């Protein structure tokens, strides 16, 4: 048991069971000064409006770096929600709420193998990788796939996420049967992939599908039933932000986002 509070943080890193010091040193970090925020890799030289920053190879969160003009930046570990701001977008990325619902309902964890279709910006793939999964993700648009690969590097998960250009449906016969723990789908032809879920998933594996429209959602749920998946549920999520001021507490009238209906089913 690593006792977090008993020794220095730097020592602590050496003991960490899940990644070595060397691993951590190679991953990108955030440089922050007020509203300025840069995502950099160890060894980078970064030009800012406050001067040039040289990022040491052994940079650590908690360090302070100085530009050549003497302005200080704090070094921070990159966290999942930061990826929403720093990833280059090729469309509207899935929001933290919805990524969280996928993580929670499927139990993404270390050692998982995930097949993801509809990479898009790649935020879901990156956050699953950060939670310990190895992800194979398919993106049909070659330019989007290139951006997603750069995003994986930016997120420090290029070794855990294999971004493949193409249509997963055409590749499905080449994928190892019963080799995935979770299948995540955010594509227009999700129902066609759900047909393959029983073959691709291990026993007890989950499929999670986001569909923006009720008609496609229904098709997903019906296909899941037809191919014999279990525990099929489709949910819609409504979130309301609360407002607290001197007059009292009330729900905000801000727009309530609708990413889509989330259908979860299990291979039993």
Contact set for a copy of itself, span 20-49 (CB under 8 A): 24, 30, 32
Pairing of strands 134-139, 161-165: parallel
Q: In what order do the strands lie in the sheet with 180-185?
A: 161-165, 134-139, 113-117, 180-185, 201-211, 261-266
Size of the site for a copy of itself (CB under 8 A): 101
- Please give the structure tokens belonging to residue 258: 């609708």
Under rule CB under 8 A, residue 228 binds a copy of itself = no
| Least CB distance to a copy of itself at residue 64 (A) | 10
- Provide the CA 116 distance to its chain's centre, in angstroms: 11
Interaction between residue 216 and a copy of itself (CB under 8 A): yes
Q: From the CB of residue 235, how many other CB atoms can be counted at a distance below 10 Å?
A: 10
145 part of the interface to a copy of itself, by CB under 8 A:
no
CA distance linking residue 83 with residue 48, whole number of Å: 20
Three-state DSSP class for 112? coil
Radius of gyration from C-alpha coordinates of the chain: 21
Instruction: Identify which range of 50-58, 85-93, 102-110, 140-148 contacts a copy of itself by CB under 8 A.
Output: 102-110
For position 247 contacting a copy of itself by CB under 8 A, the verdict is yes
In whole angstroms, the minimum distance from the beta carbon of 16 to a copy of itself comes to 6
240 binds a copy of itself (CB under 8 A): yes
| Nearest alpha carbon to residue 258 among 243, 239, 244, 242 | 239
Residue 176 burial (CB count, 10 A): 9
- Contact pattern from residue 171 through residue 210 relative to a copy of itself, giving x for each residue in contact according to CB under 8 A and a dash for the rest: ---xxx-xxxx--------------------xxxxx----
* 55, 101, 148, 190: which one binds a copy of itself (CB under 8 A): 101
Closest to 114 in 3D by CA, of 202, 180, 187, 20: 180
C-beta of 51 vs 251, nearer to a copy of itself: 251
Is the CB of 141 or the CB of 162 nearer to a copy of itself?
Answer: 162
Residues in 3-22 that interact with a copy of itself by CB under 8 A? 3-9, 12, 16-19
């Amino acid at each position: 048991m690593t006792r977090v509070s008993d020794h220095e943080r730097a020592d602590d890193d050496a003991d960490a069971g899940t990644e070595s010091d060397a691993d951590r040193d190679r991953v990108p970090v955030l440089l922050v000064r007020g509203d300025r925020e840069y995502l950099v890799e160890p060894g980078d030289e970064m030009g800012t409006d406050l001067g040039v920053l040289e990022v040491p190879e052994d940079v650590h969160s908690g360090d302070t770096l100085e530009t050549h003009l003497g302005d200080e930046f704090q070094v921070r570990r990159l966290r999942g929600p930061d990826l929403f701001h720093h990833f280059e977008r090729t469309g509207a990325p899935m929001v933290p709420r919805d990524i969280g619902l996928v993580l929670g309902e499927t139990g993404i964890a270390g050692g998982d193998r995930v097949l993801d279709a509809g990479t898009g910006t790649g935020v879901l793939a990156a956050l699953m990788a950060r939670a310990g999964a190895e992800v194979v993700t398919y993106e049909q648009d070659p330019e989007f796939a290139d951006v997603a690969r750069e995003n994986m590097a930016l997120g420090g998960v290029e070794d855990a996420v294999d971004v493949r250009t193409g249509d997963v449906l055409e590749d499905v016969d080449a994928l190892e049967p019963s080799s995935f723990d979770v299948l995540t789908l955010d594509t227009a032809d999700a129902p066609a992939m759900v047909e393959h879920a029983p073959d691709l998933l291990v026993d007890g594996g989950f499929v999670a599908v986001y569909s923006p429209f009720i008609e496609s959602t229904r098709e997903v749920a019906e296909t899941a039933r037809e191919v014999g998946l279990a525990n099929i549920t489709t949910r819609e999520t409504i979130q309301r932000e609360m407002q607290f001021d001197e007059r009292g507490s009330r729900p905000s009238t801000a727009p309530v986002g609708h990413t889509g209906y989330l259908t979860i089913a299990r291979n039993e």
